[in-house]
Every structure is written in structure tokens, then in C-alpha cells.
Structure 1
Amino acid sequence: MAQDDAPDLDPDLDPDQRWSTWSSVEKGMRGPDPRPEWVVIADAAIDTELGVLKTGKEADVFLLERAVPDEPGQFSLLAAKRYRSSEHRAFHRDSAYVEGRQVRRSRDRRAIERKSSYGREAAAAQWANAEFAALSMLWSAGAPVPYPVQIDGTEILMEFVGEHASTGQADGSPASRVAAPRLARVRPDVGTLEAYWDQLRGAMGVLAAHGYAHGDLSPYNVLAQGERIVIIDLPQVLDLVANPHGTDLLMRDCRTMCAWFRSRGLDVDEGELFAELIAQAW
């Protein structure tokens, strides 16, 4: 049969749809247990792309609906983060973050060093894998990060953080398709501001206790979902010991976040925060 005469294997799917990729990824590429009830794992589920949530320096994020048709309880909204290969990225400060990281496969390491076509794809996958691992570790430790559902090559599917804490994903109630605002855009009252600060300290403390720093933390990669914050954009998470820039970048995280909280009226000190985190790291 000529290629042009090949049958359409998915005649009922629209161009912005695909069958769920859950079953096609290996178990190790799925999120940590215990898995939230809202995660849809049915083979009959369909992924429908609903639009762009964010374009970034190294990746684009899309809103994805994963649902089983005619089964309201089998529905979830996900953020699909798709990393670009290096020639299509606008993030050119990779070296400060990847120092101390190990590339397991020697073929990948050589290809990345040569900057071949395969190497560029391997580098993009390296960033995706780093973020998925960080999300899995932090979520398991109780930190306020999106639940990582799965990783497939350079695409991470994770919990969509909507403007309301109750997204109705498990029980079929209406789900908000509006993303939670970035911390930089909100002006919380005093009580909420103090709660945000406590949550931030706790999240940075979890990272430090595991020997890591975010490395690029700012009010633009922290979401404000009602009375809680959610930290996003974690591909550059760095090892405080193995990376020679680790403590400098941790201090920068402290300065950046403390400056925002002071601008909103909370008296905080980056030196005290840094000392607290270093004590937890060592």
C-alpha cells in the first residue's frame, strides 16, 4: 500500500488531540507514589491541547486536558512543559547551573560537548530530566510544587495550578482553566503575606536539607494560589556541594525573594534566611 493510502489510525481525534501517553512511558518516568486521585491513567483517555500557558527561555508550557470521554470522574487539567533543543533556546547561562552534574551515558556526554544535533536534543532532555527529578523529590518531601505526572523525552506533564485551589479534577466538578497569578503580580494582605513567607522558607529549607538550591528563584516563578504558594521552573536546580557556584546562587535566591517581600511591607533579611538555609544544608 502506498504511504498516501495508509489508513488513518485515529480517525476520531482532532488535530489538537492524541491518545494518552501514560501507558507508553516506563514506570520510572511516572510521578512518585502515592499518586493523587485526580491522575488519569486509563488507556481510553484522550489528551487535548487547550492553548499556550507560557512561553519561556528554555521551554513552552501548554494547557492539556486528559480525560476519558463521557466519564466525568476521569478528567484532569495538566501543564505540558516542552523543552526546546539548544539552538531554539534563549537561555544562554547554562554553564553556571550544570557544573557538578553528571551525564550518565558517555555517548550523550560526548554529543553534548560536540554540540551535534543529537547532542542538542540530549541537552534538552537533560534539563527536562533534572526538573522532573527535582519536582518528584520536592513533592515527596511535602514542598509546594506541582505534582509531576510523567516525563516523555523533553515533555513533562505536571499538575496544572489554577487560580483556585479546588480544580475539581477528581470529582468532575468545574475546573478553572485560568492559571494562578505569579507572586510578582499580587498584593496580599498582611496575614497572607506572612503565610507566603513561611511557606517560602519551608520550601527553600526542603531544598537545602536535600543539598540543593533553586538557583533562579524569583517572584516570577512562584505562583500564588489563594492562600498558598507553588514554586515552578526547576530545571536549573543545583547541588550546593558539587556546584562551585552553589552558595552564590543560593544567596541570590535569598536576596531576590527578600527584596520582593520587603517591597510588600514585610521586614525580612536575606542574611538571616541564607544562614538558616546553610544550617539546614550542613
Structure 2
Amino acid sequence: MKTPNRIEPLVEEGLVDSVICQLMSGKEAMLYVVQCGEEYRCAKVYKEKQRRNFRHSANYTEGRMFGNRRRTRALQRRSSASRMTPEDAWHSVEVDTLSRLAMAGVQTPRFHNFFEGVLLMELITDSDGNVAPRMNQLTLTAEQARHYHSFLIEQVVRMLCSGIIHGDLSEYNVLLGEQGPVIIDFPQAVHAASNSNAQMLLKRDIHNITAFFSRFAPELAYTDYATEIWSLYQSSRLHWGVNLTGYVATRPKPVNLDSVLQAIGHAARKESAWQRYKRERWTSPRALYC
């Protein structure tokens, strides 16, 4: 295959020997299988801003830190103090997130290098050595669906314990590799503590994967891990290995009987006054004359 222009600098630097094939074209990047020495790896070439289909980036960039505070403020103002463009910052998020989540034990592709806007990472394969399929391509048994759903909920917890929310998690961003599900695509990842959309994004992530797996195990549709996990996170009780139930106990508020009786009495008095007014209005001599 002819080497794409964006990968040529990596070939010149000796980071890539050859491009084997195009793997896919996503909403924010093109993926290629490349050979690096004796290994096959995945090269992610980010698309230019005007060619990306990813929307609502402001929901994700809020609260992000790019290096130190001074550099972050300079980037936000786009002043000369920052040499990093918004596009560079967007790309670097995935690099930083992959490194951070690897340390937390989250199952993601192993990061190798990032050069000239191209991310080199592990090529996820199945037990036969073929490129791992995405979850949305699979038909699962109920037992498999429950197992994979439980595993991914655990991964979401690990990410949140590291302060990270994927932000676009679904069956399209999970590969089924030889060692189990692998989560991919992190350029839109957010910092939970500094993003006002964090709770909404976490709930959407969990809703997406639950909706998919409930096609095969319908009982999963009645779980509410999102509310449970966020509640534990807010109260600083979320940790790896936390015992989740998928259900949130609601505490019914006691009925204030006095208030109810007062409201009923008030309504009854209004109705009585209205009926009395109508009787007096239509039985008065003037009303009869009219």
C-alpha cells in the first residue's frame, strides 16, 4: 500500500517501516495497520478540524489542563505564550489519557509513540491473530453479555477513580481482543472533577453500553449503575473493587398528614364559597329579571 502523506515523517524517522493496509475511517481519525520492525501496530492519523464529524467539543474541553496553568490559560486565549494549537491540544488528550489509564489498570491499547499528529499504539487482535472486532459486530449469548457488561462497568469505575470519563463510550468504541474487551478512542475524554458535564457524560456512557448488552440480556435494562457510581464518587466512597448492585434504593419521604388535611380543607372551603356565590347570583331578583 502507498504510504499516506501524514505517515511519511514516521517512515523517515524510522518509527514505521511500512503501511500494510487501511483499517478504518472514523469520525475523527483514519486508522492504518503498520509494520514496525517485527511488530504490527496501529497508526491513528487524526483528521483536520474541518473534516471531522465530532460535534459539541466544548462539552469535553471544559476544565482540561494542558501542561501547567499558565500554558492552559494561554491556549484558551490563543495568545503567543502557547505554541500548542487547539488541534494539538485535542490530539494530546488521547496520549495523556492512554498513559494515565494504563497505570490504573484499564484495558486500553498500549501507547508506543506520538509524532507529527500520528498516534502509534498496540494493534488489538483476537485469539486467532486477526484484527479484533468491535462489540457492535458481535452476537452474544446472555451469559456473555452479562459478563462483558460487568467487566466494562468495572473499567468505568477504574477510569473514574483516576478522574477520567470516556465521554463517548459505546459498543463502537470497545474491541473484543484475546484478553477480553478493550476500550478505545479517548480524544474526547474529560476530567470529572473540573467539567460541569461530567455526570451527564458518565450516565450517557453507561446508558450506551447497557442498552447494547440488554439486547442479549434484557434484565440489564433495569439496572442503574450510573446513578450508583456517581453517588459513590461524589461522596468519595468510590474505589477499585467496590461492590456495586446496579440499583439505587430510594428513600420515600414521610407524608405530612397535617399539610395534606389542610390542603383538602382549603380546597373544600373554596369550592363551598364558589357554590354559595353561584346560588346567590342566580337566585337574586336582578338575575331573575334579566
Length-normalised TM-score, structure 1: 0.70
Q: Answer whether contact 1:61 1:80 (CA < 8 A) is retained.
A: yes
Q: Which runs of 4+ in 1 moved over 4 A?
A: 17-24, 104-115
- Taking CA–CA contacts closer than 8 Å with sequence separation of 6 or more, which of the two structures ends up with the larger relative contact order? 1
Tell me how large the CA RMSD over aligned residues is: 3.2
8 Å Cα contact 1:143-1:202 kept in structure 2: no
Q: Is 1:151 equivalent to 2:151 in the alignment?
A: no
- Give the distance between the partners of 1:98 and 1:78, measured in 2 at CA: 29
Q: Which amino acid letter does the alignment assign opposite residue 135 of structure 2?
A: L
8 Å contact 1:196–1:227 — kept in the other structure?
no
Tell me what 1:16 maps to.
3
Q: For each residue in 1:14-67, what CA deviation from the matched residue of structure 2 results, as whole angstroms up to 9, or x when unmatched?
A: 95398995996xxxxxxxxxxxxxxxxxx7x75211121111221111111111
Q: Corresponding residue for 1:91? A: 54
Aligned-pair distance for 1:103? 3.7
Question: What CA deviation, in whole Å up to 9, does each residue of 1:123-154 have, x standing for no partner?
Answer: 22212211111111112222111101111131
Q: What amino acid does structure 1 have at the position aligned with 2:86? A: A
CA contact (8 A) 1:59 1:83 kept: yes
Which 5+ residue runs of structure 2 have no aligned equivalent?
237-290
Contact 1:205/1:280 (8 A) holds in 2: no
1:276 — aligned with what? Answer: 229
2: CA distance, partners of 1:108 / 1:272: 34
Q: In structure 1, what is the equivalent of residue 149 of structure 2?
A: 197
More helix by share: 2
Would you say the 8 A contact 2:206–2:225 is kept in 1? Answer: no
Tell me if the contact between 1:208 and 1:278 (Cα under 8 Å) persists in the aligned partners. no
Match of 1:101 in 2: 64
Separation of aligned partners in 2, 1:278 and 1:233: 26
Identity of matched residues, %: 25
Deviations 1:153-183 (A, max 9, x none): 3111010112x2464xxxxxxxx3xx21111
Cα pair distance change 1:208/1:114, threshold 3 Å: closer
TM-score (norm 2): 0.69
How far, CA to CA, are the matches of 2:53 and 2:195 in structure 1? 23
Contact 2:2 2:19 in 1 (8 A): no
Matched position secondary structure for 1:229:
strand
C-alpha separation between the residues in 2 aligned to 1:53 and 1:16?
A: 14
- d(CA) in 2 for partners of 1:280, 1:22: 45
Give the equivalent residue in structure 1 for 2:87: 124
1:137 maps to amino acid: R
Aligned pair 1:57/2:9, yes or no?
Answer: no
Alignment CA distance shift 1:127-1:271 (3 Å): same
SS at match of 2:34: strand
- The runs of 5 or more residues in structure 1 that have no matched partner are 1-13, 25-42, 68-74, 168-175
SS of 1:244's equivalent in the other structure is coil
Partner of 2:98: 135
Other structure's SS at 1:220 match: helix
Q: How does 1:162-177 map to 2 (within 5 A)?
A: 162=125, 164-165=126-127, 167=129, 176=130
Distance 1:141 1:94, change over 3 A: same
Structure 2: which amino acid aligns with 1:124?
A: E
Match of 2:44 in 1: 81
Contact kept in structure 1, 2:33 and 2:41, CA below 8 Å: yes
Between the aligned partners of 2:230 and 2:93, the Cα distance in structure 1 is 22
Q: Does 1:211 align with 2:154?
A: no
Count of residues paired in the alignment: 230
Q: Distance in 2 between matches of 1:207 and 1:125?
A: 23
Structure-2 change in CA distance of 1:274 and 1:152 (3 Å): farther
* 3-state SS, counterpart of residue 36 of structure 2: strand
Q: Deviations over 1:84-121 (max 9, x none)?
A: 23122222321110011134486886677669xx99x8
| AA at the equivalent of 1:233 | D
